[in-house]
């Protein structure tokens, strides 16, 4: 992860913390990304179209910056998860939730929390980000300010700003379908094998939320598909 963050610094990507080293107590120290990361319930500034566009652009810029990073061959990525996405294209952030994006003046300026970064495909990172930001979720599970939003429109806006072509857009929903199934399995395994925060997430209903999101996606597939195209 330090290698990844150092690469981002080297290529001049401003939207990530810098590695400052290790302190006397052996703790890793990263720079503070000035601004604020939205908490829950989401503040108004985090649900605007400007925020959505900003996140899509930030993810695109991150992908451009990280594409030239060559991770050490023995880097200890989460093998369980990486084995599932097909041939890796880059090291994705893989966890672009609202809590992991820093805003300044309503504009997303930084990504934090690279704990889940690993080799994956651009599409996997795009779909994971959309899951949180469109969001691809059952309306009853969304943050209240996102309960009634036009998800198809927000997916389209995200694709436009990120720069997905016609072919890429056609891959979005199938990739989301695969991703849900995989993240259900990955979270279940992490809850079982790692425990801690993962086990708390799982017992707090994370698996059931994924199942409801899958149902919502399947129920709305035709409309989303037509409008994405």
Side-chain half-sphere exposure of 163, counting CA atoms within 13 A: 8
* Residues in Cβ contact with 153 at an 8 Å cutoff, skipping those fewer than 6 apart: 227
Q: Would you state the structure tokens that stand for residue 1, as one six-digit string?
A: 């992860």
Nearer to ligand ATP, 9 or 113 (CB): 113
Q: Is 128 in the site for Mg ion (CB under 5 A)?
A: no
Shortest Å distance, C-beta 115 to Mg ion:
7
CA distance 75 to 200: 28
Stretch 153-192: interaction string toward ligand ATP, x if CB under 6 A: ----------------------------------------
Which of Mg ion, ligand ATP, none does residue 17 bind to, with CB < 5 to 8 Å depending on kind? ligand ATP
Answer yes or no whether residue 33 interacts with ligand ATP by CB under 6 A.
Answer: yes
Q: Among the candidate windows 96-104, 132-140, 149-157, 210-218, which touches Mg ion by CB under 5 A?
A: 96-104
Does 113 bind Mg ion (CB under 5 A)? Our answer is: yes
At residue 120, the 3 state secondary structure works out as: strand
DSSP β-ladder status, 118-120 and 107-111: unpaired
* Count of Cβ atoms closer than 10 Å to residue 64 Cβ: 12
DSSP string for residues in 4-21: HHHHHHHTT--SSPPEEE
For the CB of residue 103, give the shortest distance to ligand ATP in the complex, in Å.
10
As measured in angstroms, the least distance from the Cβ of 15 to ligand ATP is 11
User: Sign of dihedral through CA atoms 184, 189, 190, 191?
Assistant: positive
150, interface contact from ligand ATP, Mg ion, none, CB < 5-8 Å by kind: none
Binding of ligand ATP by 123 (CB under 6 A): no
Contact mark string toward ligand ATP, 60..99, x via CB under 6 A: ---------------------------------------x
Cα Dmax for the chain: 57
For residue 112, state whether it binds ligand ATP (rule: CB under 6 A): yes
100 is a site residue for Mg ion (CB under 5 A): yes
List of residues 6+ apart from 58 with CB closer than 8 A: 15, 101, 108, 109, 110, 111
Cα separation of 74 and 27, whole Å?
23
Q: What are the residues binding Mg ion (CB under 5 A)?
A: 99-100, 113
Q: What are the residues binding ligand ATP (CB under 6 A)?
A: 17, 30, 32-33, 37, 99-100, 102, 112-113, 115, 197
């Amino acid at each position: 992860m330090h290698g990844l963050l150092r690469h981002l610094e080297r290529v001049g990507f401003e939207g990530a913390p810098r590695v400052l080293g290790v302190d006397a107590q052996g703790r890793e120290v990263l720079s503070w990304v000035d601004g604020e990361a939205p908490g829950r319930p989401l503040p108004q500034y985090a649900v605007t179209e400007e925020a959505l566009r900003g996140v899509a652009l930030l993810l695109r810029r991150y992908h451009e910056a990280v594409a030239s990073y060559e991770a050490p061959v023995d880097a200890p990525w989460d093998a369980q998860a990486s084995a599932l996405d097909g041939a890796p294209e880059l090291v994705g952030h893989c966890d672009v939730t609202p809590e992991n994006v820093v805003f300044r003046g309503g504009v997303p300026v930084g990504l934090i929390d690279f704990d889940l970064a690993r080799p994956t495909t651009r599409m996997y990172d795009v779909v994971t980000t959309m899951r949180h930001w469109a969001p691809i979720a059952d309306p009853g599970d969304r943050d209240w300010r996102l309960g009634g939003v036009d998800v198809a429109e927000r997916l389209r806006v995200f694709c436009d700003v990120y720069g997905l072509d016609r072919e890429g857009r056609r891959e979005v929903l199938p990739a989301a379908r695969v991703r849900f199934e995989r993240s259900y399995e990955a979270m279940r395994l992490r809850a079982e094998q790692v425990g801690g925060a993962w086990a708390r997430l799982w017992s707090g209903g994370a698996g059931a939320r994924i199942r409801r999101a899958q149902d919502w996606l399947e129920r709305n597939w035709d409309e989303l598909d037509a409008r994405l195209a």
